[in-house]
Structure 1
Amino acid sequence: MKMQQYMIAKFQALINEKYTRCAQKWNETPWLQWIVYLLSVFAVGVSIYRLNKPTPWVVDDLLKIQAARNIHSMNQLWELAYHFYMGWGGRVWGEIVAQLFLMIPKSIFNKINTIGYLLLIVLLQFNISGRIKPSVSTIVYVHFALLFCLPAFGQDILWISGAANYLWASLMPLLLLGIWRKSLCYDSLSYESRLGIFLVFITGVFAGWANENVSVALIAMGFGFCCFDKKRYGKIGRYKISGVIGLFVGAALLWFAPGNFVRFAAEKHSKSIFNIAHMIVRNILVMFDPTATLILMFAFCILRFTLFESYQGK
């Protein structure tokens, strides 16, 4: 028995020594980390392309395809966007992107949409770490979290009209959050030039104009970042103020689009306060749906506390 325990202990020590050496070598070779990271991103891209390829035009795509084929100039595209904004809804940029995608062959869309998905997961990774780093584990975690935890992955990522309104519309909000997130990793204010302040404002407008639910969350997070600046520096960065103002402008253009009211009347929605309250409660309960976001929330909490304990241990 003692011999068996001794052999097991020796074997564990050997494994630990090998692991320590490999980890040390890995940490000392950034070029190898980047190669493995880029290969991982490429593998994710291949998998998404293979999912995009067999996905056909469906539902709204078939309804919009004829209108897209009749567009032969930018003026016609803007005219279509104007009528959409005035007669159907505020998500005009998603509509423009959808029309542009429907104007090109599906084979080209498959490649462009794959690039868009890679931008999405890289921006998500940047918002997690606050810097550009070749973290294979993070990129793989983000990819599989989206793949398995998005309530409607095909609708949001692969379907042309859905990808335009959700995947591509998410890039600008994530870019704005990434700019703000970066400031948490440094001890000085960034983007305080006039050009930087203006560009962040424009980014804020497009981010707030992207999606109704996202705009509310972004405004709340914007105030959170401003409070962080106030506590850390004693003042709020002007680029964060300009970003929040941009969010309000974009959100107002989205929420109060004339088309929203036209669509509301056409679909005969109830104006009852009780019906609205019911819809709010229903949307909140969706977060606790095991088949939707609950698993992702649990995974996030586990990862958050694991990393926190690891950081505290260091």
Structure 2
Amino acid sequence: MNKIEKWHRGIILCLGFFLLYLANHWTLLTSDDYMYHFVFKDTLPTANLEKIHGIWSIIRSQYVHWQLWNGRYVSHAIVQFLTQFDGYVFDILNSLAFLTLIRLSCQFISFIMAKRISPIWYLLAFLYYWLFLPSFGQTALWLSGSVNYLWTSLFYLTFLLYFVKTLEYSKVEWYQKLSLFFLAFLAGACNENSSPTIILIAFVFLIYKDGFSKKICLSHFMSLGIAGLSFLTILLSPASQTRGQSDLNIAIVSERLFLIFNQLWSQFAYLYIGLLCLFCVIRFQKLEFKELELFWVMVLFVGHLVAAVILFVSPEIPDRTLFCSAILLGLTLGMLLLKCKWSLFLQLVVVSSFLVLFSMSYTRAIMDIHQSYLEVRAQYQAIEKSDPNTIVVVTKLSEPKSTYNAYRLTNNLADFPDYWFNQWMAAYFEVKGIVGIEK
């Protein structure tokens, strides 16, 4: 990449950072965020509340969280670490995390297809993730949700990319093995559907790459073992076992699978149509896939489906759980796009069309996010001015209109002080209680 292309890429990423930072800055705390400021001792505030302060308090907190809530101790430990800092720290880091996802995606596509990519791909990746990530507000702006989905995607994508790259090395050095093992641990401890999917993809590639050549790469097999054990620590947590218990039978499984595929179609219908169109373009242009390219297109698309189908064991399947599926589908589309031959005119048409869609989407989203920001700020001000020994009455938020708004479909104030959210928010502001009323 020459200097001009580096400048173009830098401009794209800087503009992307500014737009993301604005959305992050206007997204304040919601739902579980308040409780993560404290050392977990129970599901509700206890008499001897203790705020998170230092690594040891996080370790103690996550042990209880692992028992009572769920097994995602890596992401929730990061959440509790971030609660020790002012909000702008998370706003900056979260904006950078989104740009890192873009960079990792472009690197992965470029490496697999063995082609250099231009800065325009960073713009396309930005537009794709903005327009097609499910429940953007919950998965890329909300503190707890973003760390659980956006940040963990950096762990498993980095692991997969490093796993694939190091398989090409004639010799893996000890520090590279340690890096691979550490990344494997993080990738295995992400969440209940993305971790097993990535482990499966890496295993299939290892068998494909080394199984037929009879070359046994012990360090890579060991990394998959570490990832598997790490995933088991999530799956076998007492809280996950309790929450995941359900009487599965053919009728229930069939019903859930139907709902999952319906959800996939509802979320990604336009992308599936685009996928078919790209295959038609490739065939029309009489381009032939290399064996490795075809392998990855098939494996990533199957992985996209697997990451969703695994959810049939869960009694609830919110849209945000399709985050990993969206990433794997995006990588599949990216590889097909890079395979096609595009004239400059067609490139301009495609990019311009997506920029128009983005402009309309971002304008509506940021206005809705800002409206919620003003309302939450008004709540904060009312609470801070009140007598801490009284039950504070504040106005509830108006219903968010955009899926880019982190307050949409996340828990918030109820009209009685004993509701779990009200109790944790009251504990955070150190007041006797909080009640939400309608406007």
Please tell me whether residue 127 in structure 1 is matched to residue 108 in structure 2. yes
For 1:77, which of 33, 58, 61 is the aligned residue?
58
Q: 1:137 to 1:298 in 2, by over 3 A?
A: farther
Paired position in structure 2 for 1:161: 144
The alignment-based identity, stated in percent, is 22
The answer to whether structure 1 residue 293 and structure 2 residue 268 are counterparts is: yes
Instruction: Identify which of 248, 261, 272 aligns with 2:248.
Output: 272
Q: CA offset at residue 285 of structure 1?
A: 3.1
Check the 8 A contact 2:70/2:239 in 1, yes or no: yes
Cα distance, 1:122–1:65 mapped onto 2, change above 3 Å: same
Match of 2:185 among 182, 196, 205: 205
Contact 1:225/1:240 (CA < 8 Å) preserved in 2? no
Question: Cα deviation per residue 1:221-244 (whole Å; 9 max; x = unaligned)?
Answer: 112211332267441433432232
Paired residue type of 1:246: I
2:92 and 2:340 mapped to 1: Cα distance?
41
- The answer on whether the counterparts of 2:140 and 2:150 sit within 8 Å (CA) in structure 1 is yes
Q: 231, 239, 245: which is aligned to 1:251?
A: 231
Residues 186-217 of structure 1 show CA distances to partners (whole Å, capped at 9, x for unaligned) of: xx436622332232122112101101111221
Equivalent residue number for residue 262 of structure 1: 242
Deviations 1:85-137 (A, max 9, x none): 12221111111111122221112211111111111111111111128966312
Q: How many residues align?
A: 274
**Contact 1:52/1:158 (<8 A) preserved:** yes
1:50 counterpart = 2:33? no
Q: Distance in 1 between matches of 2:51 and 2:337?
A: 54
Does the 8 A contact of 2:66 with 2:238 survive in 1? yes
**Is 1:282–2:272 an aligned residue pair?**
no
Alignment correspondent of 2:9: 37
* 2:180/2:223 contact within 8 Å kept: yes
Q: CA deviation at 1:84?
A: 0.7
Correspondence for 1:174 among 157, 173, 181: 157
Which residue pairs with 1:241 in the alignment? 221
The structural deviation recorded for 1:182 is 3.0
Equivalent residue, structure 2, for 1:224: 204
Distance 1:306 1:59, change over 3 A: closer
> Offset of 1:54 from its aligned partner?
0.7
Q: Distance in 1 between matches of 2:39 and 2:234?
A: 23
Q: CA deviation at 1:307?
A: 3.5
The answer for the alignment partner of 2:74 in structure 1 is 93
Q: Match for 1:112: what amino acid?
A: L
Cα 1:52–1:190 change in 2 (3 A) is farther
Structure 2 stretches of 5 or more lacking a match?
41-49, 279-332, 343-439
Whether 1:63 and 2:35 are equivalent positions in the alignment is yes
Match for residue 308 of structure 1 among 334, 339, 342: 339
Whole-angstrom CA distance in 1 between matches of 2:84 and 2:272: 38
Report the more deviating stretch, 156-165 or 130-139. Answer: 130-139
Contact 1:218 1:247 in 2 (8 A): no
Task: Tell me the alpha carbon deviations over residues 64-86 of structure 1, each in whole angstroms, 9 at most, x when there is no partner.
Answer: 34559712232111000111112
Counterparts of 2:253 and 2:131 in 1: how far apart (Å)?
A: 30
Task: Quote the Cα distance in structure 2 between the aligned partners of 1:182 and 1:41.
Answer: 25
Greater share of helix: 1
Which whole-Å CA distance do the structure 2 matches of 1:104 and 1:299 have between them? 43
Q: Choose from 80, 86, 90 the match for 1:105.
A: 86
- Give unmatched runs, 5+ long, in structure 1: 1-28
1: distance between equivalents of 2:103 and 2:337? Answer: 22
Give the 3 Å change call, closer, same or farther, for CA 241–144 of structure 1 in structure 2: same
CA contact (8 A) 1:93 1:210 kept: yes
Normalising by structure 2, we get a TM-score of: 0.57
Partner Cα distance (1:192, 1:53) in 2: 43
Contact preservation (8 Å) 1:196, 1:239: no
Question: What is the alpha-carbon distance in structure 2 between the residues aligned to residue 300 and residue 97 of structure 1?
Answer: 36
Q: C-alpha separation between the residues in 2 aligned to 1:217 and 1:100?
A: 27
Equivalent-residue separation in structure 2 for 1:243 and 1:283 (angstroms): 31
Query: What is the CA–CA distance in structure 1 between the aligned matches of 2:201 and 2:252, rounded to whole Å?
Result: 28
**C-alpha distance in 1 between matches for 2:177 and 2:196:** 21
